[in-house]
Amino acid sequence: MTAALTVWLVIALHLFPTVSVSGVFRKLACGLRLFWPDADVPASALAYRRQQLGARPMVALFHQICHPIATPQTQMCCFAPRTLPLIGAKFR
């Protein structure tokens, strides 16, 4: 499993918070079944790859992609420099 696939897995884990890590991986691998027909990976391997990936690529991705949408001209919006702990957060 590549580092890029691990990043996609971590992102998908937040899209399916009630599904196990293996279940989310099966959902991702379903789209790859033509290229990777035997996509059954043990849960321990997934946990190892997530640990091996670490937080740095996810933090870098967050800083590269996430930015404020509001501008000072946007009405009815609070525009202030704030840091939100979005990585790993669960919203209800």
pLDDT digits (tens, 9 = 90+) for 6-64: 888 888 888 898 998 888 888 888 877 667 666 677 788 888 888 888 888 888 888 88
Global pTM? 0.62
- CA-to-CA dists, residue 66 to 61, 63, 77, 85, angstroms: 8, 6, 18, 12
Q: Which of 25, 71, 15 is nearest to 46 (CA)?
A: 25
Taking the domains of the chain in order of start, what are their residue ranges? 1-92
Q: Is the pLDDT of residue 70 over 60?
A: yes
- pLDDT for 47: 83
| Segment holding 21, helix H or strand E | helix 21-30
| Inter-CA distances, 64 with 2, 58, 59, Å | 21, 10, 9
How far is residue 85's CA from residue 90's CA, in Å, rounded to a whole number? 10
